[in-house]
Amino acid sequence: MEEVGSNSTLDPDCLVHQPPFSKVILQSLDLTGILLFAMLTLMTLTANLVFIEEVFYIYCKIPSSKRSIFIWINAAAPVIATTSCIGMWIPRSTMFTDFTAAVFFAIVIHKFLLMMVKECGGQTLFLRRFENDRFKISTGPCCCCCLCLPHIRINKRTLFLLKLGTFQFAFLRPVLMFLSIVLWTNGNYSLSDLSVSGAAIWISCIVAVLTVVALWPIGIMFQQVRVLLNCKRIIPKFALYQFILILTQLQSAIINILVMQRMIACVPPLPSSARGAYINQQLLIIEMFIITLISRVVYRKRYDDLELPLGSDQET
């Protein structure tokens, strides 16, 4: 034991920055811990069963042109819950489970933009519906205060730029996460090292910029179609997407800050960094379980019962 101050001691496990092996975690569990692990694992399995049932419903009730997009979006919460559950059971896999969840959700962001276009009847009908309108680009997350920005005309070029804004994130986020894992295996990447010479600060800043750039087209598109797609529950769908984004990005960032400020203490056999990830994973399992159940209600609607309003010169 190493002394800290005059009257306190520091457990040797707290001096180790590596997460413990899974067998160490299992051996340290008391009855409460066993019940907690069992409950969270059951919630993860239930979320996956609900998603599988939803996939069958999508294949039976939703047109084939929308099936893939709906499955990707509905899979976001179960996939994040599954990766969090694996990270909870095997703490040393956290880097890889976070990589998988981040890559998957980056693709979901792009799919959500495509879903809004599809719900308007596809790109051709979307351009016909809004050919006389303009996009309002003074929206979140980066330009909500810039009210002086002009409205831009809706055409193939602007729609392509919006799609490109989300696609760049779906492409570059996996590349950056792969680079992070490569540097981590070589000992050059650590979330606790935020010095200018460390790789974590630079990669985190680049990911933050790419995220803002990707969310901007989503906000622009949502402002344009939310009235038209109100009958297709676009507002609750957008709210669920926002909740997943906030919980996966902001929540983990807050917990990492608390770890670096030593507000989350080491509890053997978990060092403070591993305990922060441990807390985040358990919270995500509960949150994604709830979002999976809500998504089943929101997306479970016969789409042939929902007809969009058309003008006199438009036809489906």
Q: What are 197-225's pLDDT values in tens digits?
A: 777 788 888 888 888 888 888 988 888 88
Q: Which residue has the tokens 């990589």?
A: 99
Q: What are 116-167's pLDDT values in tens digits?
A: 988 888 888 888 888 777 777 777 666 555 566 667 788 888 889 889 989 9
pLDDT above 70: percentage of residues in the chain: 84
Average pLDDT, the chain: 81
248 compared with 18, residue with greater pLDDT: 248
Q: Which residue has the tokens 């709210």?
A: 239
pLDDT at 316 over 80: no
Is the omega angle on the peptide bond into residue 12 within 30 degrees of 0, that is, cis?
A: no
pLDDT at 103 over 80: yes
CA distance 198 to 200: 6
Least confident of 36-50, 63-77, 143-157, 244-258: 143-157
Quick one: pLDDT at residue 20? 75
Q: What are 241-280's pLDDT values in tens digits?
A: 889 988 888 888 888 888 877 787 777 777 777 888 888 9
Within 13 Å of residue 74, how many CA atoms lie on the same side as its CB?
26
Structure token pair of residue 312: 């006199």
pLDDT at 312 over 90: no
- Report residue 188's pLDDT band, with 50, 70 and 90 as the boundaries: confident
pLDDT at 315 over 60: no
CA distance 124 to 128: 6
- Report residue 7's pLDDT band, with 50, 70 and 90 as the boundaries: very low
pLDDT at 5 over 50: no
Specify whether the backbone of 64 is left (phi greater than 0), alpha (psi in -120 to 50) or beta.
alpha
Quick one: pLDDT at residue 125? 87
**Across residues 57-84, what is the average pLDDT?**
89
**Across residues 46-62, what is the average pLDDT?**
90
Quick one: pLDDT at residue 260? 78
Ranked by mean pLDDT, which of 100-109, 246-255, 301-310 comes out on top? 100-109
Quick one: pLDDT at residue 16? 56
Nearest to 205 by CA among 241, 180, 237: 180
pLDDT at 69 over 50: yes
249 compared with 302, residue with greater pLDDT: 249
- Report residue 65's pLDDT band, with 50, 70 and 90 as the boundaries: confident
- Report residue 306's pLDDT band, with 50, 70 and 90 as the boundaries: very low
Quick one: pLDDT at residue 149? 66
